[in-house]
Amino acid sequence: MALQGELTMKFPELDSRQSCLIRVAEAERKKFEKLLFQRHPAQEWGSFFRFGYRQTPWGLAATFIKALPPMAGELDRQSSIVSFRPQYIARAVKELENTPFGIGIAHSHPQGWGVSPSPSDDDMDEYFADLFGSFGGGRPYCSLILNRGQDGELVFSGRSFHAGKWIPVTEFITPNFPYSRVRNAELKAPRSANLESAGEPGESLTARLEELYGSDAAAKLQASRVGIIGCSGTGSPAIECLARAGVGEFFIVDYQRFGRSNLERIHGSRFEHAKQSPMPYKVELMAAMIWEINPQATITAFVGNILDDEVVNELLRCDLLLGCTDTHHGRAALSDLATRFLLPAIDVGVMLEGSEGKVNSQLIEVTRYAPELPCAFCSGSVNTWPLKVECMTETERAQRIEAAAEAAKRGEDGTLYWGGDVPQLPTVGFLTTNAGSLVAGYAINWLAGSSDLPHSRFQFDIGQPEFGFAVINRKRSATCACGKIVGHGDQGDAAISKPPHWPRAMKLSLLSKAQ
């Protein structure tokens, strides 16, 4: 691409300690590719695009919102390369002034020309980073070059100007099924966590999985980053299955320490843990379990909650999140990350009910969250009152109960102040293990690209004829904002935020024996 009056200076070195991940939902990606490759294979074409973002300590989590396609005359059609005319640039600047989003540029290269930036691409990027930075009050800028490989597959390179530095756009992610994470063709491949123990003879540790899914799938799982929120009944068996399947990188989050009654359902826990004082954090048990199975796995562990900013920063590096908390705020947060940051998730919950020695419900419910799906509020997965109770201070709780009692004395409706206790649902290990291993299976298939979930939300009861299987239909509510903030990142309003009285998350420094 070119600009009149070329500057031709040496382009600054990219800061490889930081990275930018860009997520593009499949429907938008298809439209964008059609636009950019309209003169392919012989000639280039380009477009501005709008993106949401979050600045994190590791770099930039960017989300493609939509293309701002050139209108007639805004790009020079006579030129075989992309040449932005002043009126198109003025329109992009206006976008910056009228919205909180970042503006980026993408252009295609002719087939066979690779994705290396040309000297005029360099000039262009420096010019736009500077121009958009000053009109956007320091907002990041993003530039992508797209091409087709020999088999027609997408090849890309990219860089982003963020916090005064040029950083590489390392991955171009399509968070739909089949999941795709294309790596910047200009960068060297990273070292992947390898389940093979060096120098040990014998068959591959994931040989049976490879037989079924192919060696490609095994490599994909090794390169996968999975976040598991909640490391108890459903989270721990899910983690165990994922570790055994060779998933390379784990982000584990749980604020609790192990407790004696947890021995009945937490995988990786032993009798000796119940004797320790203080008892270990659940995430510590998970880290030890993962490393016993795969000493090469990389683990980031937080004693904390999904609503913590520092936790979210790290979760945004994941390919997939598993919601294993069975809480209303947990589901609200998962669906919010799926909507605003295009980060897909699978949530699982169980419900056991019984009385007088008889069990009458042994239910498992699975819900997928994704940018194209209705949020947790639209889906009815979050109820306002229990959500409020989960996020309340002890003082507020006491005040509300007292106010309700006072109101009742006056003959008024006390439920305006206190909607009743939210019972903690009892769970048992066999059912949580079933639920956790089930979602691990869906996650493995999803990451390997071998199969999608059968429905976006469903439940079944293992004690009912035909398992009482039910599909729960979901529809976006016309009054909910979720459909309007897809990909908006930090520039969209969060559906839920951390209650101020909750403690800050603590990142544990853990070391595998192999490291």
Residues in contact with Zn ion by CB under 5 A are 1, 118, 121, 375, 377-378, 480, 482
Task: Provide, rounded to whole angstroms, the least separation between the CB of residue 129 and Zn ion.
Answer: 15
Task: Provide, rounded to whole angstroms, the least separation between the CB of residue 118 and Zn ion.
Answer: 5
Task: Provide, rounded to whole angstroms, the least separation between the CB of residue 37 and Zn ion.
Answer: 14
Task: Provide, rounded to whole angstroms, the least separation between the CB of residue 120 and Zn ion.
Answer: 7
Instruction: Could you list the beta-strand ranges (E) of 312-385.
Output: 320-323, 345-355, 358-369
Task: Provide, rounded to whole angstroms, the least separation between the CB of residue 213 and Zn ion.
Answer: 34
Task: Provide, rounded to whole angstroms, the least separation between the CB of residue 172 and Zn ion.
Answer: 16
**Token output for 302:** 């937080």
Q: Give the C-alpha separation, 404 to 218, whole Å.
A: 57
Q: Give the C-alpha separation, 511 to 168, whole Å.
A: 28
Nearer to Zn ion, 157 or 362 (CB): 157
DSSP-derived 3-state class of residue 349: strand
Nearer to Zn ion, 43 or 451 (CB): 43
Phi, psi of 266 (to 5 degrees): -90, 115
CA neighbours closer than 13 Å in the CB half-sphere of residue 27? 9
Q: 37: exposed, middle or buried (C-beta count within 10 Å: 0-12, 13-18, 19+)?
A: middle
Task: Provide, rounded to whole angstroms, the least separation between the CB of residue 333 and Zn ion.
Answer: 14
Q: Give the C-alpha separation, 442 to 448, whole Å.
A: 10
Q: Return the HEC string of 396-410.
A: HHHHHHHHHHHHHHC
Nearer to Zn ion, 242 or 375 (CB): 375
**Size of the chain in residues:** 515
Nearer to Zn ion, 65 or 226 (CB): 65
- Residues 425, 326 contacting (CB under 8 angstroms): yes
Q: 248: exposed, middle or buried (C-beta count within 10 Å: 0-12, 13-18, 19+)?
A: buried
Nearer to Zn ion, 258 or 377 (CB): 377
Nearer to Zn ion, 155 or 435 (CB): 155
Q: Beta strand 19-23 with 225-229: parallel, antiparallel or unpaired?
A: unpaired
Neighbours of 497 (CB within 10 A): 13
Nearer to Zn ion, 52 or 268 (CB): 52
Nearer to Zn ion, 299 or 375 (CB): 375
Task: Provide, rounded to whole angstroms, the least separation between the CB of residue 109 and Zn ion.
Answer: 5
Work out the angle at residue 363's Cα, subtended by the Cα atoms of residues 361 and 364, and round it to the nearest 5 degrees.
170
Phi, psi of 303 (to 5 degrees): -85, 100
